[in-house]
């Protein structure tokens, strides 16, 4: 990327769902990086056999945001898969004028969830390169045509501050799978005189593979409680403990399985998904009844004027049968 103070100059070709700053490959088949067919710096947003079907709104769009010297160049792809017109893809590739070594990918819809694509960057056909995934199902959330917020954001920094290349991955909290839930159990009413390591020793002697035992503390005063969290190596060990319990000194303990919270995260200020109020960017209160800029208790709208500010349906924005809420639930389930 070159900047002359007023314009971006790119020697780029857009094809096969990547942006090339030199020669692009003519191959529709993706593979591992670096790929010798791409002679220069290339951003592989979703290298796969994607296609723009005639008679649709599918296309590749581009534009700039911001002002010099902090402009962003955004390429947005609306595509389908070749030979499978019902598999849809929508994502963005973003370049930054102020940080030319950084490129960001934002994903909104990927019907096959990354099962047959390559995602990454490379400097030349011989490298260096950075790879996020190659033909990895589930590497990108499926999303849908109504997804308004990115379900996955990847930021590639090819020259980070410590001299090491880096990939930063951000998945909105509302669709993150809670990893290792099946390995965790909670035990209540554990005598405060029994240390954590004593519990771990007893479980190990019983043939259970324990990774960690942690006692919960109260936020106020950092005071220990009688509840402990036990993380096992796998679900089989956890389930054995839940089934039989365990004797520690003179006390017998039973565990409760950790349950995953599958409810979408929603901001109570703007009523949008994928963030909590603490991280709300707008800080603009929205009414759950009419969608205007006030609290619901201040709303004077008639019942026939009820409007959800998420899907525009005739219901409160807080109901769980809202189409946007159901979409968020589906996205969470698809990641687990």
Written as six digits, the tokens of 212 are 């960690």
The pLDDT of residue 169 is 63
State the pTM of this model: 0.54
The pLDDT of residue 14 is 54
Q: What region, left, alpha or beta, does residue 192 occupy, with left being phi > 0 and alpha being psi -120 to 50 degrees?
A: alpha
Q: What is the mean pLDDT of each run of 10 residues along the chain (336 residues)?
A: 39 65 79 90 93 90 89 92 92 92 93 92 91 88 81 85 57 52 86 90 92 85 87 88 85 80 80 80 89 91 89 90 84 61
The pLDDT of residue 299 is 92
The pLDDT of residue 7 is 35
The pLDDT of residue 204 is 92
The pLDDT of residue 334 is 61
Q: Cβ distance 64 to 55 under 8 Å?
A: no
The pLDDT of residue 1 is 36
- Spatial separation of the C-alpha atoms in residues 134 and 120, rounded to whole Å: 9
- Spatial separation of the C-alpha atoms in residues 155 and 186, rounded to whole Å: 36
Tell me whether strands 42-47 and 118-122 are parallel, antiparallel or unpaired: antiparallel
The pLDDT of residue 166 is 67
Domains in the chain with CATH codes: 2-171 (no CATH), 181-257 (3.30.70.330), 277-334 (no CATH)
Distances from the Cα of 42 to the Cαs of 66, 70, 171, 238, in angstroms?
23, 22, 24, 46
The pLDDT of residue 160 is 55
The pLDDT of residue 80 is 93
Task: Report which secondary-structure segment, H or E, holds 50.
Answer: strand 50-51
Q: Cβ distance 12 to 85 under 8 Å?
A: no
Give 63's Cβ-side CA count (13 Å radius).
Answer: 4
């Amino acid at each position: 990327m070159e900047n002359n103070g007023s314009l971006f100059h790119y020697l780029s070709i857009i094809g096969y769902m990547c942006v090339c700053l030199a020669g692009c490959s003519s191959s529709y088949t993706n593979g591992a990086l670096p790929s010798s067919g791409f002679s220069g710096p290339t951003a592989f947003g979703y290298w796969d056999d994607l296609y723009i079907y005639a008679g649709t709104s599918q296309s590749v769009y581009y534009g700039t945001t911001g002002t010099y010297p902090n402009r962003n160049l955004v390429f947005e792809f609306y595509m389908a898969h070749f030979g499978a017109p019902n598999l849809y893809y929508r994502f963005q590739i973003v370049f930054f004028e102020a940080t030319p070594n950084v490129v960001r990918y934002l994903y909104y819809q990927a019907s096959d969830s990354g099962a047959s694509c390559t995602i990454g960057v490379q400097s030349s056909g011989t490298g260096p390169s950075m790879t996020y995934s190659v033909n990895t199902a589930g590497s990108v959330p499926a999303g849908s045509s109504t997804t308004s917020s990115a379900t996955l954001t990847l930021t590639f920094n090819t020259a980070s501050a410590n001299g090491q290349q880096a990939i930063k991955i951000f998945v909105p909290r509302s669709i993150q799978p809670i990893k290792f839930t099946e390995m965790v159990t909670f035990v209540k009413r554990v005598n405060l005189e029994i240390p954590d390591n004593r519990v771990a020793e007893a479980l190990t002697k019983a043939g259970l593979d324990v990774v960690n035992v942690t006692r919960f503390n109260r936020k106020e005063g950092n005071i220990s409680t009688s509840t402990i969290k036990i993380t096992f190596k796998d679900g089989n060990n956890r389930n054995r403990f839940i089934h039989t319990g365990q004797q520690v000194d003179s006390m017998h303990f039973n565990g409760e399985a950790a349950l995953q919270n599958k409810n979408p995260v929603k901001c109570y200020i703007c009523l949008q998904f994928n963030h909590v109020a603490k991280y709300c960017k707008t800080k603009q209160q929205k009414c759950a009844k009419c969608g205007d800029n006030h609290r619901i208790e201040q709303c004077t709208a008639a019942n026939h004027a009820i409007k959800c500010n998420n899907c525009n349906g005739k219901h409160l924005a807080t109901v769980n049968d809202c189409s946007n809420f159901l979409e968020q639930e589906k996205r969470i389930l698809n990641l687990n």
